[in-house]
Amino acid sequence: MKTISLKIDESIFGETEKILARIKKPRHRYINEALDFYNKLQRKQIMEEKLKKESELVQEDSMSVLKEFENIENAD
């Protein structure tokens, strides 16, 4: 495990301490779980952005292929 030092807003720290007292979980475990959750959320958002960009890149080609299929269908 790595040891880090961080600054936390007073309001966030106070709320966290109240929650920790209630759920009886060590602070380091709670922070690790919070960071893990946030990392997963960020990875999901990064993937969504990437998929959106890639979708936009192939959109024109997809429309072109669709038009070709329509032309073939209309020729019959």
d(CA 67, CA 58): 14
- Which residues lie below 8 Å from residue 26, measured CB to CB, with a gap of 6+? 20
- pLDDT tens-digit profile of 16-60? 999 999 999 999 999 999 999 999 999 999 999 999 988 888 887
Contact 6, 17 (CB under 8 A): no
Would the CA dihedral through 24, 28, 34, 37 be positive or negative?
negative
- Average pLDDT in the 66-71 region? 83
Question: With a threshold of 0.85, does the pTM exceed it?
Answer: no
Categorize the per-residue pLDDT at 61 as very low, low, confident or very high, splitting at 50, 70 and 90: confident
Report pLDDT for 72. Answer: 84
Categorize the per-residue pLDDT at 73 as very low, low, confident or very high, splitting at 50, 70 and 90: confident
